[in-house]
Amino acid sequence: MYRIAAKPVSRSLFAFGAASAAAVAIAGPVYADELKEKKPVVKEKLSIYPKPDAEILLVETHSHLATHIGIVREHATAAYSEGQATVQSAVDKWIGVEHAVEKQVKELIPEDEPMTPGLLYVGVATLTASVIGRRRSLPVRLVLPPVFFAASLAYFLPKTSHNVSSYLTSLEETYFPGFAAQHAAVNKNVSESVSSTLKSYAKARHAASDGIRQARQQLEQHTGLKVAGVEDAVDGKLKETEAKGASAIEELKTKAVDAFHRIEEETRKIGDQAKGEAERAADGLKKEEEPPKRLV
């Protein structure tokens, strides 16, 4: 009987001990500071205004594909910029070359020397040399056109010819100094030879004129004939022939210029006619391509 009554008591004691142990474990250790008196907690008064929203920071994250695409785009942009810089540099160089050529051409062509008839005469002379040498040997055919070109350029456009010669000489001295020295020596020898030949010719002509004058005087003294009148007549005929030749040359120049202007005018007319025909043909094609209008 006593055993039966002891069982409920022991069970209740065991439950009370387990609950006490759990409460102590949950509460944790108790320190000496906690035994002191705690200060009363002052509650914060709530504001009548709403609190501002907390600042939200969005951190952008990129995927691996976006990173690779960005790298490829940067490389493509750099390559495009480099290519554009290269092209722009080439264009700038070409523009510089054009300006240099334009400046050099302006320096070569004098302002007080007309180019239109002179260039025409030079071209006609060069073509004449080609026609003359077409039945000759190969060296003659190769030499005649440049010779006629240089001679006609020096005759019809002397200032331009001098400027071109000076420019070629400067290029030769800059890039081929040895050849330029030899060329200068040859030119000096040729000029000295030509000047000495001209002086000898002038002396011979003067001596011949003196001899003829003395012979005429002696002939007039011995025979009594007036030879001076005949000589004056011959000189007059020679001068008249020279004047006619000069007038014929001027007339030929005038005719050549007129022919050139006529050819230019005919070419312009033909171009205008061709342009008109092309415009009419284009209008016809447009009309054929337009669909017919239908009544709905």
- The per-residue pLDDT of the chain, averaged, comes to 76
Instruction: Provide, rounded to the nearest whole percent, the portion of the chain with pLDDT above 70.
Output: 68
pTM exceeds 0.75: no
CA distances from 175 to 82, 168, 187 (A): 34, 11, 19
Q: Cβ(115)–Cβ(160) under 8 Å?
A: yes
HEC string of the chain equals CHHHHHHHHHHHHHHHHHHHHHHHHHHCCCCCHHHCCCCCCCCCCCCCCCCCCCCCCCCCCCCHHHHHHHHHHHHHHHHHHHHHHHHHHHHHHHHHHHHHHHHHHHHHCCCCCCCHHHHHHHHHHHHHHHHHHHHCCHHHHHHHHHHHHHHHHHHHCHHHHHHHHHHHHHHHHHHCHHHHHHHHHHHHHHHHHHHHHHHHHHHHHHHHHHHHHHHHHHHHHHHCCCHHHHHHHHHHHHHHHHHHHHHHHHHHHHHHHHHHHHHHHHHHHHHHHHHHHHHHHHHHHHHHHCCCCCCC
Quick: pLDDT tens for 64-98. Answer: 888 899 899 999 999 999 999 999 999 999 999 99
For the cut 80, the answer to whether the pLDDT of residue 102 exceeds it is yes
Residues sharing a CB contact under 8 Å with residue 161, sequence separation 6 or more, in sequence order: 150, 153, 154
Instruction: Provide, rounded to the nearest whole percent, the portion of the chain with pLDDT above 90.
Output: 12
Quick: pLDDT tens for 181-194. Answer: 887 888 788 888 88
Residues present in the chain in total: 296
Tokens for 213? 């004058």
What sign has the CA pseudo-torsion 26, 32, 35, 39?
negative
Q: Which of 25-29, 78-82, 175-179 has the lowest mean pLDDT?
A: 25-29
Tokens for 12? 């209740």
CA distances from 193 to 43, 136, 189, 196 (A): 128, 30, 6, 5
